[in-house]
């Protein structure tokens, strides 16, 4: 008897510079080897925002080696679940081969935060913490279903 392949979860946002990488880092940490977790964007920015890297490091998750990718890079791969974290990506999201589930959990884009450097950093932390609650709860549900 063959073991079924691990499910692949793809987290999408527009720029693939902040929210999708935060979600990928949190979900990858929470699920460990239970799933393959990736992120991509409909219009990738070409970089991971330094403040996203910083606020994730604050909670012990290193996303410094992540890179910005286009969602079309994943069209030939079987994707079990797609999670969109912004409205633009939700509207632009194609159906991926093998896709069984789709979730839309919109979060504010911290790259659009204004104010002092500390205000902007705090916005990144707030979004990270909101995403952490949602993605860790989702991961707990997936672990419980195993």
Active site residues: 13, 86, 93
Beta-bridge mates of residue 9 = 37, 81
Sign of CA dihedral 42, 43, 46, 51: negative
Rg of the Cα atoms in the chain: 15
Helices 50-57 & 117-145, crossing angle to 10 degrees?
60
Enter the tokens of residue 81.
């679940």
Within 8 A by CB and 6+ apart from 82, the residues are: 9, 10, 11, 12, 93, 96, 99, 101, 102, 103
């Amino acid at each position: 008897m063959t073991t079924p392949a691990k499910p692949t979860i793809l987290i999408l946002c527009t720029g693939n510079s902040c929210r999708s990488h935060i979600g990928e880092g949190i979900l990858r940490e929470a699920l460990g080897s239970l799933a393959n977790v990736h992120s991509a964007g409909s219009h990738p920015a070409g970089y991971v925002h330094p403040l996203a890297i910083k606020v994730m490091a604050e909670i012990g998750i290193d996303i410094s080696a992540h890179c910005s990718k286009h969602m079309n890079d994943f069209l030939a791969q079987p994707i079990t679940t797609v999670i969109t974290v912004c409205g633009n990506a939700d509207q632009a999201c194609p159906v991926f081969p093998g896709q069984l589930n789709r979730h839309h959990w919109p979060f504010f884009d911290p790259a659009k935060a204004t104010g002092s450097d500390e205000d902007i950093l705090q916005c990144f932390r707030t979004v990270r913490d909101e995403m952490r609650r949602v993605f860790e709860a989702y991961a707990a549900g997936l672990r419980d279903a195993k």
